[in-house]
Amino acid sequence: MTRAGWHARPAAGVTLLELLIVLMLMALVAAVVVPTFGGGVSTAELKSAAREVASGLRYARGQAIARRTESLLVIDLEARTFKVPPDARLHKLPERLDLKLFTAQRDLVDEKIGAIRFFPDGGSNGGRITLAAGERKFDVDVDWLTGRVAILE
């Protein structure tokens, strides 16, 4: 075989550059398509919902201290809503979110509706609201002695 014959034959196989381009295109398509079919709650949505619940709890505590009377955050686990009476506004949480409430027995209306109570001194009956989406979850804790609200991952 002559040297000229050697170069005339087409190259077999795929170059590294071609392989990287194909992998990059596949990753780009997956990044666009997977969230469309996921249907779940994103981590950002979950964290935002936890912050909204914590904000509602802090508001209820502030109302109890300012008005020198007991205040509640009432949560409906089935409808995924909460409110801080006497404010009639309902705060809606994402539909695909799993909620759990741990509170004092006297503040449970039924198995789907309950409340966390705050007292005029800033204290509380304590409790926890858990917001979950699959394996990810946030716990919004209320300390019974101080009424302090904390978000735990």
Q: Which residue has the tokens 């992998």?
A: 23
Put the strands of the sheet holding 91-92 in their side by side order. 91-92, 81-83, 71-76, 113-118
CA 99 to CA 148: how far, in whole Å?
A: 20
CA 133 to CA 42: how far, in whole Å?
A: 8
pTM over 0.75: no
CA 131 to CA 51: how far, in whole Å?
A: 10
Q: Show pLDDT as tens, one digit a residue, over the chain (153 residues).
A: 555 555 556 667 778 888 889 889 998 888 776 655 555 678 888 899 999 999 999 999 999 999 999 999 999 999 999 999 888 889 999 888 889 999 888 888 888 999 999 999 999 999 999 999 888 899 999 998 998 999 998
Choosing among 3.30.1780.10, 3.40.50.170, 3.40.50.720, 3.55.40.10, the CATH entry for 43-152 is 3.55.40.10
